[in-house]
Every structure is written in structure tokens, then in C-alpha cells.
Amino acid sequence: MLQDMPSVVVTPTAQARFFRVLGDPTRLAILTHLLTGPHTVSELIAKTGLSQSRLSNHLACLRWCQVVEAERKGRNMIYSVTDPRLRSVLDVTQDLVADKAEHLASCGRIGPDWV
């Protein structure tokens, strides 16, 4: 007999933090590359043009928030997305933004410290 799983209450603060993780253009670029498959730090540096320290800071954020995971293979760390549903989230976001992209890009009301 299966027991009922307790439902998890997701607070608006937790949801806002999740969107803040996704709300950084650099992290979105990293995630876009990782959605094509696992990548090493070197590959991500080549694809994003970021310095290793800047990329590492963003990867640390994504790992801490459990959006990406890392696996050591020899001398390399291989990064991958933890949940394939993230692709759907980003696809829906692109659809929602498509007809108002320029307007949203010029928004001055939401800054980096809004949460």
C-alpha cells in the first residue's frame, strides 16, 4: 500500500528566488548550453566567452540552487542540468516574451536587487 506523499508548500519567496536564478542573462546563456548536453568548464568558457572565475561563480550559484550538477571525470568537472523540465520553462518563457522582448529589455523598474 502506497502512503500519501505530503504536499510541499512552495512559498512566493522560493518561487521568486528560482526566477532570480533564471533572471541573470549569463546564467541563462550557461543553461542554454547545458540543455544541449553535459559540458566541461573549458567548453562552457569557449561557448560563453566568460573568464573562468566568472563562470565558476555562476556555476556555483546554479549548483547551490540545484539547477545544475557536476560530476568529476578524471581532471574535468562535467556540468549538466538537474531537471529536463527546465527546457520547457525556458521554451514557455520564450513564447511569453516573443512579442514584447524589446519592451521588456528596456524595463527600468526591475533591477538586480528586486528580491
Alpha-carbon span 115 to 100, nearest angstrom: 23
Instruction: Single out the residue of 30, 26, 46, 49 nearest to residue 38, CA to CA.
Output: 30
- pTM for the model: 0.82
Looking at per-residue pLDDT, the higher value among 105 and 41 belongs to 41
The CATH number of 18-95 is which of 1.20.1530.20, 2.30.38.10, 1.10.10.10, 1.10.8.50?
A: 1.10.10.10
**What does the CA dihedral 82, 19, 35, 61 come to, rounded to 10 degrees?**
-60
Boundaries of every domain in the chain: 18-95
Q: Do the beta carbons of residue 78 and residue 39 sit within 8 Å? A: yes
Residue 99's pLDDT band (cuts 50, 70, 90): very high
Averaged pLDDT for residues 51-63: 96
CA-closest candidate to residue 83, choices 100, 64, 67: 67
